[in-house]
Amino acid sequence: MSSKTIKQKHSPEKQSNLIYSFVTGVAKTAGGTILGITMITSSIVAGGLVGLAISFRNLPDVRVLNNYVPSETSYIYDIKGRLLTSLHGEANREIVPLKQIAPELKQAVIAIEDSHFYQHQGINPYSIGRAAWVNWQRGSVTEGASTLTMQLVKNLFLTQERTFSRKLAETIIAMRVEQVFSKEEILYMYLNNIYWGHNNYGAQTAAETYFNKSARELSLAESAMMAGLIQAPQQYSPFINYNETKRRQVLVLRRMRDLGWITPAEEEAARKEPLLVNKPTAWRASKSPFITEAVTAELKEKFGDNKVLQGGMRVQTTIDYYFQKMAEESVKEGHRKIKSWGVRAEQVALVAVDPRTHFVKALVGGVNHDQSQFNRATQARRQPGSSFKPFVYYAAFASGKYTPDTTIEDSPVKYRVPSGYYSPKNYSKDFAGEMSLRTALIQSRNVPAVKLGKAVGLDRVIKISRILGIKSPLQPVISLPLGSIGVTPLEMAGAYATFASNGWHAEPTIILQVTDSEGHTILENRPKPKLLLDPWSTATLTSVMKGVIAEGTGKNADIGRPAAGKTGTTSSERDVWFVGYVPQLATAVWVGNDNYKTLGKGVTGGSHAAPIWRSFMLKALEKEPVKHFPAASQFDKP
């Protein structure tokens, strides 16, 4: 049963009749004994509520509970349903139907909190009489007489202050609730709202926290323990005072036995059953923090903070937990290795995207999340260096004016810029003269890339970059073809994934599907790729980039199967990259420092980022069949 489907039991006009019938019913049962006098006294108190209720014009209308949806915890899972983390605001809660709560827990709660729950109509006259006498003697509200209904009312509508006026309001609203809702509906709301300690609200979340199981699976011993927590969850917590927890459990079991709801043998067995409690889930960290933080950021952007933290979302990511762990280990291993070579690199980031769906398959934002939570995979815009050049070469091939065999001069050139003149230089500091575009890209010559970018138009290069999903700010400066403007590893992996799919593009996503707590889909990211690049030009570019690995600057990325990619090294060796792909996976690796300090003389993408890429890809593709890229000859030249 959902809180959205609760129906009214009685009309509001019948509410006053309840109080009258309650009073007369109690009076008929009263005798000459002290108990009878107490009941009559209680009846007088209850009857007086008829007149007093008139003055409570501002009390909430309990009918709003028909549409009441309490805040719920949201959960993030990997693509195979493994829980990665939970997100919640002040209340960590998961709503479940009453039928999904163990009968033992229902009985235990009713036994210790309100054993006359199914007999009264919101208030218990016996308890009221006893509490009224004690409170009158002490001159303040020191003892309660709360039924489950009154506790529910207090939690949903009222403050926690202990005053007569609040208690009176609680009583009146409780009687109204009993008129509008059935006992099962009240119990459903109660068990899904009550606080169980350690920021856990509702039976389901508490059961998962304490016993790592659903509320449906609780044993009698476990149910009795949980019921015993309600009165003072922190004081009786097994994580704080296990002896008090057991004492309360025994009290609940004894009460259940006295009521005849369990046998002495069942009581004894439950008392002896060991309580295998877990560390609270509210204290657990995410299993994949870089993933869950990226997911949370995307969700908040789409739905807002409140919906994410209180809306009970069920988020299925595109990540396989074990694949992600493999990527994290590859980053750590690669970092240890390059540090052992004397490279002054503090951080490595890696992003892998499936070209067939553009689903993000792995995302590692740094070497150690515990030491630094900054997600460099999605948040750090770093110069991509020569790994940006393929966007320029694709633009040239797609223009129909160039082929890999077209020649270009690798010779000195000077451009006028606002600050004076700009003369691009090759990494080797020399010039090679006339060469083909294929050779220029394979050898990663800078001057030909700048000349080609100027020839095809820098605005055209930017347009291609936007088509490929680069959202970072780009300006048509002369040095743009050399990757002088920052982008993120996620953007680069997503763009290269489009090359890998021979021009089919979709927006990279880390979220596959989002549903609410009742299973209704509120976000669907099933793959819907569109052909956005020219097939001949893309296949041609891939054939050239295969040469980068086979004979060029990316030899250290050779994985023994058809693969294409490009190295990237920025000036002063501040950032080094390798971005490459096979038909099933595109991966970007960045190495650098958050403070932009140099990595050391001679550090390049080919020598330091490519080995990390190779190590990861060998593991990632271990069970994947070898696939070949389509040949350019299969398509018409533009």
Domains, the chain = 3-55+91-282 (1.10.3810.10), 326-508+532-634 (3.40.710.10)
Per-residue pLDDT, 562: 97
Catalytic residue among 286, 386, 465, 517: 386
Tokens of 55: 């003055």
Count of residues making up the chain:
638
Mark whether 386 is an active-site residue.
Answer: yes
Q: pLDDT tens for residues 612-637?
A: 999 999 999 999 999 999 999 999 99
> In which residue are the tokens 């090359």 written?
499
Q: Counting Cβ atoms within 10 Å, is residue 68 exposed (0-12), middle (13-18) or buried (19+)?
A: middle
Per-residue pLDDT, 302: 86
Per-residue pLDDT, 39: 45
Per-residue pLDDT, 199: 74
Nearest Cα to 438, choosing from 535, 532, 550, 559? 550
Per-residue pLDDT, 34: 40
Tokens of 241: 């005072």
Quote the CA–CA distance of 192 and 99 in Å, as a whole number: 12
Query: Angle at the Cα of 386 (from 382 to 387), degrees rounded to 5?
Result: 70
Mean pLDDT per segment of 10 residues, for the chain of length 638 residues? 44 40 37 41 46 51 62 85 78 82 95 91 71 52 66 70 59 83 90 83 88 93 94 88 92 95 95 81 67 88 77 89 96 95 94 97 93 92 96 97 97 91 92 96 97 97 97 95 96 98 96 88 90 98 98 96 97 93 98 93 94 97 96 94
Per-residue pLDDT, 127: 62
Q: pLDDT tens for residues 147-163?
A: 998 888 877 775 445 45
Tokens of 454: 């100027």
Quote the CA–CA distance of 595 and 585 in Å, as a whole number: 31
Per the CB < 8 A criterion, the answer to whether 132 and 42 are in contact is yes
Per-residue pLDDT, 7: 46
Catalytic residue among 72, 94, 104, 113: 113
Per the CB < 8 A criterion, the answer to whether 534 and 427 are in contact is no
Tokens of 138: 């002490």
Per-residue pLDDT, 30: 35
Mark whether 113 is an active-site residue.
Answer: yes
Element (H, E) at 157: helix 148-157
Cβ within 8 Å of residue 194, ≥6 positions away: 151, 152, 155, 201, 202, 203, 230
Per-residue pLDDT, 152: 84
